[in-house]
Amino acid sequence: MSEVQKVPSGAVAEGVVAGARWATVPRERIREALQELKAQGYQSYVFMSCVDHLATPVVEKPPERFELIYQLRDMERRQDLRLRVFVPESDSRVPSAHDVYAPANWDERETWDMFGIAFEGHPDLTRILMPEDWLGHPLRRDFPVGGETVDFSDDHEIWQTAPPDA
């Protein structure tokens, strides 16, 4: 059986959910935590994603509105680890990890584009999916939901704008 690796120093919480290990670190420590985990053997950066907890229906409310999840893998020991970072809405900035794990460059650009989380030190934090002149960040839960006229749908004449309660 493979040895279980430690979570990064400075972790404020850790656990296992459905067999998947996770640890939470303060956003100020994300770069150090990623560097430490890479040195421990987590050489494979799988992905980074974001969750907007604005309307998350859970009993225990998350500490901040946004949560970044870094999925890392140690291929030799066959272990995965999810590194979690909570980001406040009022100051949605996080240090960039593009120079720790090169593929983070694209995930950080996508997260900036879709959620508006700024990654400090990123070499080219520009939109990657939306047009440059797009206003807002469409995966935020408070982004206005609208519709487009689709001429081949049955209700194309009535679905011109977002519903009044959107």
At 154, the pLDDT band (50, 70, 90 cuts) reads low
- Residue 2, classified by CB atoms within 10 Å of its CB into exposed (0-12), middle (13-18) or buried (19+), is exposed
Residue with tokens 């206005």: 144
Calculate mean pLDDT across residues 102-106: 96
DSSP string spanning 71-84?
EEEETTTTEEEEEE
Residue 114 φ/ψ, nearest 5 degrees: -85, -35
**Domains (range + CATH), the chain:** 13-120 (3.30.460.80)
- Give pTM, 2 decimals: 0.83
Q: Which amino acid type is present at position 121?
A: G
How far is 22 from 115, CA to CA, in rounded Å? 22
β-partners of residue 13 are 24
Task: Give 48-77 pLDDT, tens digit per residue.
Answer: 999 999 987 777 889 999 999 999 999 999
How far is 31 from 143, CA to CA, in rounded Å? 30
Residue count (the chain) = 166
Residue with tokens 């509105």: 65
